[in-house]
Amino acid sequence: MANSTHHKTDNNTQTWGVLGSYLLSSNTVVYAVRFDADGNINARDPARIYWRRFNTGGEQKALKSYEYLAYGIKVKRRTTPSEFSVTLRRLPQVPMILKQTGPGQAELWVEIGGRMTKAIYGYAHLEGSGLGQRVVGFSIHGIDPNSGTALSERFSVSGGDIKR
């Protein structure tokens, strides 16, 4: 999902999304856009995913290989220049588009309630603790660009199925 304020990081990336556990943990998975030296989205490697450990000082930490099963994404270049289709591994039924809006700037667009909106953030809702945590839902929040209205959608997870 996308942050309304884009944060530059030290390795030529821009945060465009966070997907974190809701109320159960202060740790967050961050999705960041990679830019090349000219400020264009890096077509070969457009995204970086990492943990932000707010409970231990905010340091960044790489995802473990098995965590990509839950938090991974697929990014594919579209025919429109400077646009990429983005699919969350655990939420493939929600189409998203990463759009470059200027040098070193991008926005993520997501369908909420049948309308394409500018994504602001998303949450994975968890139950349990430690290695026993399980995802019970997802929520996505965005802004309708025409009306400025805040929109959100919640998805429930039951028996491995994700439902709107």
Average pLDDT (86-104) is 89
Please, which residues have CB within 8 angstroms of residue 22's CB and are 6 or more apart in sequence? 123, 124, 125, 126, 139
What pTM was estimated for this model as a whole?
A: 0.79
Helix (H, G, I), strand (E, B) or coil at 24: coil
Q: What is the mean pLDDT of residues 93-114?
A: 91
Q: Which residue has the higher pLDDT, 95 or 106?
A: 106
Q: What is the pLDDT of residues 52-77, one digit of tens each?
A: 888 888 888 998 998 888 788 999 99
Q: How far apart are the C-alpha atoms of 101 and 98, rounded to whole Å?
A: 10
